[in-house]
Structure 1
Amino acid sequence: MAIGRKGFFFTAAAIVLVIVLVLYATSGRTTRMREKALAIEQRVKTMDHIVTDIEKDIQRGGYIASFRALLALQQYLVARGGYINNTQGILQELIVNGTIDGNYISVMNGTELNVWIQRISHEAGKTGIQMNCTIEQAVLMHSDPWTLILVLDTRLNLRDDSNLAYWTRHQQINSTLSIIGFEDPLYSVNTLGRVINTIEKSPFTEFVVNDDPANLKSHVERGYYIESASAPSFLMRISGDFRNSSMGIESIVNLLELEANDIAPMNKSCIDHVYFSSNNPPSFLINRTYNWLRLDEQSGAIARYQVENLTIR
């Protein structure tokens, strides 16, 4: 009996020891798994922050690339002495690659998105993140008559060097920029670069006050612009598209500026998209202004500039 009891106690002790060892081993594995899970969670959070930063950097890069692309396009239009047909295609090539028809445009000066993304990828690599970003499409459009929006269709892949986390994201990234301060292509193309009119929004809403057109004269002399649904948008002007647009803007051509640059003035409406087009609707001189200022009714200019009582018919 004594031997049996000893055997029982040895067996019980062995079982307890095995249980303790199993619990210890399980606890160790659980701890390691918990630590690994925490490491993965922390890395995912880090990558999430990096993704947000990358998208902000691409957004900022999109603004700079678009700004430079429009400057480059201004020079290109003057150099070729004419409008372009594929405005969106050329703008995308400039913004993404810095080229037109495969030829690098020096005005871009390394600000094109492909170079910008390479820089971002290099910085991400310093944190142990491998990045690959593809610009699938870049479209520049109007959000209002004075503002452009660059819509970037991007695909972003991130991988952690330790293979703890992997991130794939298809994202639309938007950047906005104002057209204020850019040259109007209608002037630069039609005067072969001799007369440059930069886009500035008119401070006037009342052009004639008590039959006094002083504000209208100031508007003309300073080459200001107003919104006009009868006029083409800024982007349409790049391609020489004179059709009306809800994003349209217009100025009144100052014929004195043309004469000062040895350009013979024409006897037609001075509304820019009428004056520089082949269209020549009936136009009327405006009393108390200049002996050359003519506006037309077809484009709605007579009413728009409030000169109904000042037209010489």
Structure 2
Amino acid sequence: MKKIINKPEDYVKEMMEGLYIAHPDLITYTGDDVHCLVSVNKKPGKVGIATGGGSGHLPLFLGYVGKGMLDGCSVGDVFQSPSPDQMLKVTKEIDSGAGVLYIYGNYNGDIFNFDMAAEQADFEEDIKVESVVAGEDVASAGPAAPGEKNTRRGVAGIIFIYKCAGAAADAMLSLDEVKRVAEKAAANVRTMGVALTPCTVPRVGKPGFEIGDDEMEIGMGIHGETGIRRGKLEPADQIVEEMMDKIVADLPYVNGDEVAVLVNGLGATPLDEQYIVTRKIDSYLKEKGIKVHRYYVGEYATSIEMAGFSISLLKLDDELKGYLDAPAQTPFFVQL
């Protein structure tokens, strides 16, 4: 796989440096660590919202720091969690006295490191931290029973959680209330993806898995995690119908329910194809009597240069709709 890079070991650092050069009106970094990204627009007395995760998923995770969404993000190497120290640096920088909410994906490394950072923030800095772990991938597992661990992966649907929680924080709600809104959004979003090609981590230099030129894998994760079915590539409408059947069945809907829809390219899927997918989603939802409040189509959570797409549905009520519609401005997300 050809890549436009210098040294593989400098891939993340140089990407981050370019990001700061391009968006100085929205983001900067704390101290001397370019992996600790924060918003330049600090609002006194507001709950800070932080996220983090491995690189290779742009715009996720760092691309949603700015006005009306996230306040900071700690960035790891490609597909690797950032360190607790980096998370703590971001936490200290974005705290305005109202506490900090962590929102991150359901991956063991992230959970361990964010928990450690939260403990340090509490004991060493007297910063109250709460956490919401996003895990909405339909392919990963069925609903967790009460008291059991959620094994669903956090994927593109986390953007809906960022958006709703960010708007709640911007409205100056308390930490407990912002967490409640984030949990409500997390409980009402579901995602399913399909992959057509593998991706290549720069330091590795070869694809992380193999898939035939005439094959697809439904349910594959954004790091190449095994999906639920591999088979011959099918027409777009057929792929979408299978994915939507699983999404809608996982979080039951009734006629008249309203949703926001996120159609997400995984890195190498042309927008032309994403809009073909959107067309079928729309007809599918109309047949089910499910109303669409908003569509978001484009690259939101990628896997380097993987070909494929994911579909995320957020079930809305009046509260979530208000937060979803609130204005926001980040390097990769603008809503007026």
Q: Which protein is richer in helix relative to its size?
A: 1
Normalization by structure 2: what TM-score? 0.20
Normalization by structure 1: what TM-score? 0.21
